[in-house]
């Protein structure tokens, strides 16, 4: 059936009426946000509430009958909540890397375009920005589904008092880019070690013998490629736009199901949502059965571990910290029972945070 010009006008007028209604509702929502701001200010409460954010996403997903997907609605409401937070107090978010890095993209996904963003050249810089109050929150990578844990992020939690208050899972896609966009001109490839590891097979098959150089971040790699006509970078698509590079090949990661988990760090803790995760750091005595003693209370209480990673303490040989993620909130009775039990045999136990589990 052919659409007539008058039909298009009719549909567009209907959209205009709906848009006008949406604007009225959004401003009505904004006025409620300002009332909440007044209440929070009197009680010295934090403006960003990860548990409330999760409640909103779940509720709008349940309410929707389509055709918008849950992911599309989440993106829309992320921007609505970002603008709402800016009415209360514009958040400043520190992130690892330069503009266009995957961590920058993850931060934008979590906090929206109405927040202010501060790049951190190193992971330590991100922690310091938040510790010194120059940013309310920081976003750092912690784990990749292909390359495993980001060890340096774990090490920084040893000395820091910052808490994990949220997590972000983001699909990672890598693009090879250069000034010319010509694969034949590439003599050097720059990227972060994790990205290089995730594209190892593609590089060996398509650029054998080409020099591969590690960079501090994928966005730094894009900067380096922008300054060298014979170089290319492996970085996200956003980096190509920011640094005026041309894509050579997209989705060059060796495993298509490639995700990175990021942590939001801050000085606040998240309330219970019912679907939470807790991260702790433990050091144990160097004796036979010590690891079994550490893990048995989780089995006894029926708490599921999602990750356990060991890191050298750097204090003496063969002395380790264990980083453990488990399902549940630290305020849950079962989690409290586990904590009391492992404190009896551990040298130190540090709760890094409880936070809503990313879906």
Residue 203 structure tokens: 């590089």
Nearest to 176 by CA among 258, 245, 103: 245
d(CA 200, CA 110): 29
Contact 22, 79 (CB under 8 A): no
d(CA 241, CA 183): 18
SS3 172: coil
Contacts of 154 (CB under 8 A, 6+ apart): 142, 309, 311, 321, 323
Query: Sign of dihedral through CA atoms 284, 289, 291, 292?
Result: negative
Nearest to 298 by CA among 349, 331, 336: 336
The helix or strand, by DSSP H or E, that contains position 280, with its residue range, turns out to be strand 276-284
d(CA 47, CA 37): 7
Query: Sign of dihedral through CA atoms 89, 95, 97, 103?
Result: negative
d(CA 103, CA 137): 13
Contacts of 267 (CB under 8 A, 6+ apart): 130, 161, 162, 163
Active-site annotation, residues? 260, 262
Q: What share of the chain is helix, strand, coil (3-state, %, to 5)?
A: 45, 25, 30
Residue 186: count other Cβ atoms within 10 Å of its Cβ: 20
SS3 268: coil
């Amino acid at each position: 059936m052919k659409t007539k010009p008058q039909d298009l006008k009719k549909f567009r007028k209907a959209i205009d009426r709906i848009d006008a209604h949406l604007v009225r509702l959004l401003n009505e929502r904004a006025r409620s946000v300002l009332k909440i701001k007044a209440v929070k200010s009197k009680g010295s409460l934090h403006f960003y509430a990860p548990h409330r954010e999760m409640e909103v996403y779940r509720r709008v997903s349940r309410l929707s009958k389509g055709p918008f997907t849950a992911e599309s609605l989440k993106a829309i409401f992320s921007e609505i909540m970002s603008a709402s937070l800016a009415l209360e107090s514009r958040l400043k978010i520190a992130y690892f890397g330069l503009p266009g890095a995957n961590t920058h993209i993850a931060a934008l996904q979590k906090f929206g375009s109405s927040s202010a963003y501060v790049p951190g050249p190193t992971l330590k810089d991100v922690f310091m920005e938040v510790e010194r109050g120059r940013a309310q929150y920081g976003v750092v990578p912690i784990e990749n589904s292909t390359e495993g844990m980001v060890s340096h992020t774990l090490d920084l939690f040893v000395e820091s008092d910052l808490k994990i208050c949220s997590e972000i899972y983001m699909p990672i896609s890598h693009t090879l880019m250069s000034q010319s966009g010509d694969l034949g001109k590439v003599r050097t490839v720059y990227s972060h070690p994790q990205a290089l590891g995730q594209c190892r097979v593609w590089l060996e098959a398509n650029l054998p013998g080409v020099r591969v150089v590690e960079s501090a971040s994928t966005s730094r790699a894009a900067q380096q490629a922008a300054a060298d006509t014979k170089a290319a970078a492996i970085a996200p698509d956003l980096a190509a736009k920011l640094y005026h590079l041309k894509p050579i090949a997209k989705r060059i990661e060796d495993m298509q199901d490639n995700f990175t988990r990021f942590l939001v760090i801050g000085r606040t803790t998240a309330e219970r949502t019912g679907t939470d995760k807790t991260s702790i750091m433990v050091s144990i005595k160097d004796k036979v059965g010590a690891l079994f003693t550490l893990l048995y209370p989780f089995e006894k209480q029926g708490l599921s571990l999602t990750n356990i990673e060991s890191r050298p303490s750097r204090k003496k040989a063969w002395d380790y910290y264990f980083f453990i993620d488990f399902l549940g909130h630290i305020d849950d009775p079962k989690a409290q029972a586990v904590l009391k039990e492992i404190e009896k045999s551990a040298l130190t136990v540090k709760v890094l945070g409880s936070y809503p589990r990313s879906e």
